[in-house]
Structures are given as C-alpha cells and as structure tokens.
C-alpha cells in the first residue's frame, strides 16, 4: 500500500499535466522514442481514441495502490487486454513506459521536483507490477 499523501502528490501532478491538451500526445512521442520496439504495435492506431484510453488508464494506475487487494480489481480488464492473450504487451515495455511518463511529467508539471517524481514512481509501481504479473 502506498500512503495517501504520496498518491495525492502524484494525482495532483497528473491533474496539472492534464491541463495541457498535448500532454498525452507528447507522452506517446516520448514513449515511442524510448521504446522503438513498441512502434509497430501502434501502426494504424487512432491516437485520439488511444489518448482517451491512456488518460483513463493512468488514472487507474494512480488509484490502484489504495484499492482492496482482491480479484477482480480495477486493473483486471486492462491487464487482460494487455496480456499475451490479447495485445501481448511485453513486460519489458513497462519500464520505458514509466520512464517516458516521468519525462513527460517533467515537461508539463510546473511543480515537478524529485519528490513529485518519487511519488509518481511509488504510486504507479504496484499497478505496473500487477499488469506485468498478468502477462
């Protein structure tokens, strides 16, 4: 469990980032530059729809640590969609995903600091580990 002050810091940062309409588009540019292996998976992607899905998914990652530890949980459908049974998102893609997310937060959050970065990393880690475990 991540303490509520840490998750609140990450959520507040996300809210600030989402004030910029281009935040998620820049994230995708950063992610695909950091993880060229993922580029073919996005061929033909409708990025307007994809960024809406991503906005929701990041929100789920930010609240996941303080949810009850039971199945199904709020990430279960997302994890199944990204598992080898569907999109087959490689577990190795999650590290560049988080790193690109942090890099993008750094660009868009006017209150970014090492403390904010640590809050993001600590808050999304349980959800990312869950996603990887369901591959």
Residue 1: is its pLDDT beyond 90? no
Q: State yes or no: cis peptide before 72, omega within 30 of 0.
A: yes
Per-domain residue ranges for the chain? 4-38+45-133
- Residue-wise pLDDT tens digits, 35-81: 999 999 999 999 999 999 999 999 999 999 999 999 999 999 999 99
- The rounded distance, in Å, linking the Cα atoms of 33 and 50 is 17
Q: Fill in the DSSP letter of residue 71.
A: S
Number of residues written out for the chain:
135
Q: CB burial class (10 A; 0-12, 13-18, 19+) of residue 87?
A: exposed
- The rounded distance, in Å, linking the Cα atoms of 73 and 89 is 19
- Selection from 97, 89, 67 nearest residue 134 by Cα: 89
Q: What pTM, to 2 d.p., does this model score? A: 0.95
- What residues have CB less than 8 Å from 3, skipping those under 6 apart? none
In words, the CATH class of domain 4-38+45-133 is mainly alpha
pLDDT the model gives residue 66: 93
Residue 99: is its pLDDT beyond 90? yes
- Residue-wise pLDDT tens digits, 103-126: 999 999 999 999 999 999 999 999
């Amino acid at each position: 469990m991540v303490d509520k002050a840490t998750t609140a810091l990450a959520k507040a940062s996300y809210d600030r980032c989402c004030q910029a309409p281009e935040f998620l588009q820049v994230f995708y540019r950063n992610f695909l530059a950091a993880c060229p292996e993922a580029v073919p998976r996005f061929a033909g992607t409708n990025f307007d729809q994809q960024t809406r899905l991503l906005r929701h998914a990041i929100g789920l990652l930010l609240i996941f640590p303080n949810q009850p530890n039971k199945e199904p949980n709020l990430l279960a459908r997302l994890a199944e969609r990204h598992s080898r049974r569907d999109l087959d998102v490689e577990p190795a893609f999650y590290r560049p995903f988080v790193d690109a997310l942090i890099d993008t937060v750094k660009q868009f959050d006017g209150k970014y600091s090492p403390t904010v970065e640590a809050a993001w990393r600590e808050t999304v880690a349980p959800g990312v580990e869950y996603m990887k475990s369901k591959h």
